[in-house]
């Protein structure tokens, strides 16, 4: 009777270890997918900014307000940016941008080069003449498109591999513990 309970606990523990390892693999795959979704959203934001600056030429607070209404990863960020601009704290736009970027929880899914690009976008918005801003937005949009394409190509291979590696690791640990 006692031996049966011990074996049942071992089997249950082994299942938990295997599922935990598989869960880590799935988490890593989902994290890569979230990165792609964030980059896509940023591309849309840049296209929207380009159109607004080119045709309507609103001020930055108005642009941030319009962007905050859109649903997505950055809606709260743009809402906070609008509030910071209207608060007149004496900082430059890029300083607000940099500070508010730190408050986006999804930033951890981005690579360091992705985050650096986002900071550069903030450094180049709001302080240049209209034509320079438009050219700069085009360049950033092109870079984001390249990053997204590369991330999508990597994702499909890495997602499968990460799940397989973590599941294999789980099986190895189960066999090691039993």
Average pLDDT of adjacent 10-residue blocks, the chain of 178 residues: 77 78 77 86 87 78 82 83 81 80 78 83 74 84 89 79 74 72
Task: From 164, 170, 137, select the one nearest 47 (Cα to Cα).
Answer: 137
CA angle 65, 113, 121 (to 5 degrees): 30
| Rounded alpha-carbon distances, angstroms, from residue 122 to 157, 163, 174, 178 | 32, 36, 49, 54
The confidence score (pLDDT) of residue 73 equals 82
Position 110 scores a pLDDT of 79
Dist CA 87 CA 45 (whole Å): 23
Domain residue limits, the chain? 2-177
pLDDT at 126: 66
- Confidence at residue 88, expressed as pLDDT on a 0 to 100 scale: 77
pTM of the predicted model as reported, rounded to 2 decimal places:
0.75
Per-residue pLDDT at 128: 65
How far, in Å, CA of 120 to CA of 61, rounded?
A: 19
CA-derived radius of gyration, the chain: 23
């Amino acid at each position: 009777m006692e031996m049966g309970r011990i074996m049942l606990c071992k089997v249950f523990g082994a299942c938990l270890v295997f599922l935990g390892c598989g869960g880590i693999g799935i988490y890593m795959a989902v994290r890569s997918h979230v990165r792609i979704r964030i980059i896509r959203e940023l591309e849309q934001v840049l296209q929207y900014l380009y159109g607004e600056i080119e045709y309507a030429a609103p001020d930055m607070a108005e642009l941030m307000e319009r962007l905050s209404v859109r649903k997505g990863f950055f809606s709260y960020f743009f809402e906070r940016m609008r509030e910071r601009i209207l608060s007149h704290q004496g900082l430059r736009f890029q300083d607000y941008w940099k500070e508010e970027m730190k408050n986006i929880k999804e930033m951890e899914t981005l690579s360091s080069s992705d985050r650096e690009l986002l900071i550069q976008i903030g450094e180049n918005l709001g302080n240049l003449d209209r034509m320079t801003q438009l050219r700069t937005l085009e360049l950033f949009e092109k870079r984001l498109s390249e990053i997204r394409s590369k991330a999508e190509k990597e994702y499909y291979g890495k997602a499968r591999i990460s799940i397989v590696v973590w599941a294999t690791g789980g099986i190895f640990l189960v066999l090691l513990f039993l």
